[in-house]
A and B are shown apart, each in its own frame.
Chain A
Amino acid sequence: MITYFESLTGANCTVGGQTIISLTATEDMEADYDTASAICLAPGGIHDRGTQVQTVEGGVSTGLWITDDAAWIYSGRKTWRRRSGTDAYTHLPLVSYRLRRKGYLQARATISRATLGTDNYPPKFCTQQRMYEINQEINARIKAGELTYYAANRERGTWRPVAGAADIIRTVCGWVGLPVSFRVNLKACAEEYMPVGKTALAVCKEVASWSGASCHLNRSGTLVVYDWQQVYGQASSVPMPQSLLEIEEHQAVPSPTQVTVVGKGYKGVVVDRPAKPAGWSPSGIWRPAQPAATYISGRHEKAVEVTESIGVPGGGRHVEERIEINNYPLDPQLAQAIARERLARAELQALSGTYQGPAEGCQSYAPITHRIFSVTRTLNWTGSAYRYEITICGPRATMSWGSILDDSGWW
């Protein structure tokens, strides 16, 4: 929907139903939370802290927010006014808000006994494979007389086996009441993970980062887990304002230019089984003939080391960043994805552009949904009309990589 300068009025520029005097909203994919500050006229009273409000700019919703700080402003100079048609002077109902994206109160909650309840605390996540090993250890201790069955069951009950990293994020978000949506498959998962004392958002970001993924709270307050490279590395253009008033395009030298990811993973061993003729087994059972076959057997620890690089401007030498991953298993494909994500961030942020212009018609532009790093919209009352501007920062380049490494036989 395109809005025009003259169609912006106090009726369609509101925060929680209150007319905007000024609004600055910033949505940034690098920041934990989108933020906004607003000054409004609130004849019906101020929205209390923690209230959910919606910003509407030119009749178009620009998302849900939580009032992080709400303040009344009484000032002889600023607010002592007489409304046209009345005789009495009163204070204008001027209020100011600091807003954070909906979901902020849930995402900032720490993983503590108060949040989780005694039954869930402390949270101890493990993979199903690790749970199998823990069970074997516990059974061995029972056999050795170190544990009673009761103590063994209590020990087992403290662990939460998960099918993958997405399960951890879903569980943590469920504890704090934060909706979550996955736009990427999270491949990597630590064998054991105990997120005590961290915020829910920090946990989700950490768990997503195992697979080279990122998190962002979107306009409706849903935590979106996404593949940074898929969003920003693709060959699509950055959306622009209807007209451009200012352009600033950067060509910075990226750092690093080479990333090496090292770790270890598990790989099966390829076994060639020869053909077997039909015959009786030693225990007297008739076995039919079996053809020759190849299959993967066993779980062997293997080192993984993958290096990816981008061109160095000016013919310089590489700047390498070495990422050592010890707390979860890797496969070559995952290590390659992590290295490429790190390099894509460095390269695309070094080749970024900032574009400023009128914001009418640009209300929907947002990081992740569009190929934008950050967007800032300002809406200010000038005394006779609103001035509405947008500043968009986005990548000016695309990333192209060679073939993806084979991950068959790894887990």
Chain B
Amino acid sequence: MTTHTHKIRKSAKADSEKLPDISGTKITYAGGTECGVEITQRMNEEPTVSAGSTVTVAGYTGVAENQSSEILPQYKLDGAIVWETTTTLATEGDSV
């Protein structure tokens, strides 16, 4: 099977809130962070999609939150019809 990474979209999100402080000025605090990577790959074979387990895709490791695959009959790769798979990973840490 030939696989090409077609698109990578990284995201990091944190909740923030302002709280009063004894100094009289407001202080911004960051709450929980959520980092993730969305990877789109094209391959010349029908893939199996799954979610919920820790996977490594295009060098990024995380919990697969969502995985979807779509056939693209208008394109061929190494003579076979192309399948495009999009995987959304939730990664550990404050950055990705």
Chain B residues near A381: list those with CB within 8 A: 19-20
Residues B18 and A383 in contact, CB atoms below 8 Å apart: yes
Q: Please measure, in the bound complex, the distance between the C-alpha atom of A322 and the C-alpha atom of B28, giving whole angstroms.
A: 64
Chain A residues near B23: list those with CB within 8 A: 10-11
Q: Using CB atoms, name the residue of chain B closest to A83.
A: B29
Q: Please measure, in the bound complex, the distance between the C-alpha atom of A18 and the C-alpha atom of B21, giving whole angstroms.
A: 9
Question: Which residue in A13, A81, A82 is a CB contact (below 8 Å) of B20?
Answer: A13
Interface string of B29-42 (1 = CB under 8 A from A): 11110000000000
| B73 located at the interface, meaning its Cβ lies under 8 Å from any Cβ of chain A in the complex | no
Min Cβ gap B34→A in Å is 14
Question: Which residue in A11, A43, A81 is a CB contact (below 8 Å) of B24?
Answer: A11
Residues B20 and A83 in contact, CB atoms below 8 Å apart: no
**Segment 1-53 of A: residues with Cβ below 8 Å from B:** 9-14, 17-21, 41, 43
Residues B22 and A19 in contact, CB atoms below 8 Å apart: yes
Residues B20 and A10 in contact, CB atoms below 8 Å apart: yes
Residues B18 and A21 in contact, CB atoms below 8 Å apart: no
Q: Please measure, in the bound complex, the distance between the C-alpha atom of A83 and the C-alpha atom of B17, giving whole angstroms.
A: 10
| B27 located at the interface, meaning its Cβ lies under 8 Å from any Cβ of chain A in the complex | yes
Question: Which residue in A20, A92, A384 is a CB contact (below 8 Å) of B18?
Answer: A384
Chain A residues near B26: list those with CB within 8 A: 10, 384
Min Cβ gap B32→A in Å is 7
| A80 located at the interface, meaning its Cβ lies under 8 Å from any Cβ of chain B in the complex | yes
Q: Using CB atoms, name the residue of chain A closest to B23.
A: A11
Q: Using CB atoms, name the residue of chain B closest to A82.
A: B30
Q: Please measure, in the bound complex, the distance between the C-alpha atom of A82 and the C-alpha atom of B16, giving whole angstroms.
A: 9
**Segment 302-358 of A: residues with Cβ below 8 Å from B:** none
Residues A19 and B18 in contact, CB atoms below 8 Å apart: no
Min Cβ gap A391→B in Å is 23
| A386 located at the interface, meaning its Cβ lies under 8 Å from any Cβ of chain B in the complex | yes
Chain A residues near B19: list those with CB within 8 A: 10, 21, 41, 92, 381
Min Cβ gap B12→A in Å is 13
Chain A residues near B20: list those with CB within 8 A: 9-10, 13, 19-21, 41, 381, 386
Residues B29 and A18 in contact, CB atoms below 8 Å apart: no
Residues B22 and A18 in contact, CB atoms below 8 Å apart: yes
Considering only CB atoms and an 8 Å cut-off, how many residues of chain A contact the other chain? Answer: 25
Residues A81 and B22 in contact, CB atoms below 8 Å apart: no
Q: Please measure, in the bound complex, the distance between the C-alpha atom of A84 and the C-alpha atom of B17, giving whole angstroms.
A: 10
Q: Please measure, in the bound complex, the distance between the C-alpha atom of A14 and the C-alpha atom of B21, giving whole angstroms.
A: 10
Q: Please measure, in the bound complex, the distance between the C-alpha atom of A381 and the C-alpha atom of B21, giving whole angstroms.
A: 11
Chain B residues near A10: list those with CB within 8 A: 19-26
Chain A residues near B29: list those with CB within 8 A: 81-84, 92
**Segment 39-70 of B: residues with Cβ below 8 Å from A:** none
Residues A83 and B27 in contact, CB atoms below 8 Å apart: yes
Chain A residues near B27: list those with CB within 8 A: 83-84
Chain A residues near B18: list those with CB within 8 A: 383-384
Chain B residues near A14: list those with CB within 8 A: 22
Chain B residues near A384: list those with CB within 8 A: 18, 26
Q: Please measure, in the bound complex, the distance between the C-alpha atom of A9 and the C-alpha atom of B30, giving whole angstroms.
A: 20
Chain A residues near B31: list those with CB within 8 A: 80-81
Interface string of A376-409 (1 = CB under 8 A from B): 0000010110100000000000000000000000
Chain B residues near A17: list those with CB within 8 A: 22
Q: Given A80-B32, A82-B30, A84-B29 in contact, is the A383-B24 Cβ separation under 8 Å?
A: no
Q: Please measure, in the bound complex, the distance between the C-alpha atom of A220 and the C-alpha atom of B22, giving whole angstroms.
A: 24
Chain A residues near B22: list those with CB within 8 A: 10-11, 14, 17-19, 41, 43
Chain B residues near A18: list those with CB within 8 A: 22
Q: Please measure, in the bound complex, the distance between the C-alpha atom of A84 and the C-alpha atom of B26, giving whole angstroms.
A: 10
Question: Which residue in B21, B24, B28 is a CB contact (below 8 Å) of A41?
Answer: B21
Q: Please measure, in the bound complex, the distance between the C-alpha atom of A84 and the C-alpha atom of B21, giving whole angstroms.
A: 12
Q: Please measure, in the bound complex, the distance between the C-alpha atom of A82 and the C-alpha atom of B31, giving whole angstroms.
A: 7
Q: Please measure, in the bound complex, the distance between the C-alpha atom of A12 and the C-alpha atom of B23, giving whole angstroms.
A: 9
14 A-B contact pairs sorted by A residue (CB < 8 Å)? A9-B24, A10-B25, A11-B23, A19-B21, A21-B20, A41-B22, A81-B31, A83-B28, A84-B29, A92-B19, A381-B19, A381-B20, A384-B18, A386-B20
Residues of B within 8 A of A (CB): 17-32
List the 5 closest pairs (A to B, CB-CB), nearest first: A10-B20, A11-B24, A81-B29, A84-B28, A9-B24
Q: A82-B30, A92-B19, A383-B18 are in contact. List 6 more A-B contacts (CB 8 A).
A: A10-B19, A12-B24, A81-B31, A83-B28, A383-B17, A386-B20
